[in-house]
């Protein structure tokens, strides 16, 4: 089973969008728990997490979220990202044959233009991250955010697709 970790900061709409993309996998039993690591939101983020039954960690430390995760494999996402199709099956297939981290493939409906890709900075979690709990625990440092964890690893591509979270202003 999988644990999903989502780092937030004043992104109740994005969190709701991401959580809605997890419902099918949760109903099937693929997602064991969802942990929201909040970095100080002042909007309704905590309320959205509570209504969805998520574990809510105020103070947002990824290391604390990793320790609370029940699954042996973690899916780390930005609030607002949406996983598409049979993503859980792709994660389980990867976990069965590899111990290395992986990232989702960008959705065909969500690809930016060539110029945009060339001149905009790539967000480390734009394609999510799938990583074993053991490896994430070894990499997570006190106070580290999800992006620094994602930057610390190289990862293979999964055939499952993700619609990246919109860029924050």
| Inside any domain, residue 169 | no
124-153 per-residue burial string, b: 16 or more CB within 10 A, e: under 16? bbbbbbbbbbebbeebbeeeebbbebbebb
User: So what's the pLDDT on residue 43?
Assistant: 96
Spatial distance between the Cα atoms of 46 and 36, rounded to a whole number of angstroms: 9
Q: Which residues of the chain have pLDDT under 70?
A: 109-122, 142-143, 168-169
CATH code, 54: 3.90.550.10
Spatial distance between the Cα atoms of 138 and 13, rounded to a whole number of angstroms: 31
| Inside any domain, residue 26 | yes
Residue-wise pLDDT for 118-158, tens only, equals: 555 567 899 999 999 999 998 887 667 888 889 889 899 99
| Inside any domain, residue 77 | yes
What is Dmax (Cα atoms) for the chain?
42
| Inside any domain, residue 159 | yes
User: So what's the pLDDT on residue 121?
Assistant: 57
| Inside any domain, residue 117 | yes
Q: How many domains does the chain have?
A: 1
Domain housing 146: 2-163
CB atoms inside a 10 Å sphere around CB 109: 8
Structure tokens given for 48: 């959205």
The pTM assigned to this predicted structure is 0.91
| Inside any domain, residue 168 | no
Task: Look at phi and psi of residue 143 and say left if phi exceeds 0, alpha if psi is from -120 to 50, else beta.
Answer: left
User: So what's the pLDDT on residue 8?
Assistant: 95
User: So what's the pLDDT on residue 30?
Assistant: 96
| Inside any domain, residue 59 | yes
Spatial distance between the Cα atoms of 33 and 38, rounded to a whole number of angstroms: 16
| Inside any domain, residue 95 | yes
């Amino acid at each position: 089973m999988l644990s999903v970790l989502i780092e937030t900061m004043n992104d109740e709409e994005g969190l709701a969008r991401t959580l809605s993309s997890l419902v099918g996998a949760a109903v099937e039993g693929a997602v064991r728990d969802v942990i929201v690591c909040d970095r100080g939101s002042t909007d309704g983020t905590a309320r959205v997490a509570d209504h969805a039954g998520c574990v809510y960690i105020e103070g947002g430390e990824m290391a604390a979220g990793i320790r609370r995760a029940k699954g042996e494999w973690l899916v780390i996402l930005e609030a607002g990202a949406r996983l598409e199709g049979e993503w859980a099956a792709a994660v389980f297939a990867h976990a069965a044959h590899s111990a290395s981290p992986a990232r989702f493939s960008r959705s065909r409906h969500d690809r930016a233009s060539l110029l945009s890709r060339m001149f905009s900075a790539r967000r480390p979690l734009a394609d999510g991250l799938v990583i074993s709990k053991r490896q994430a625990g070894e990499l997570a440092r006190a106070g580290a955010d999800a992006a620094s964890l994602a930057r610390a690893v190289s990862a293979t591509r999964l055939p499952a697709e993700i619609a990246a979270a919109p860029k924050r202003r």
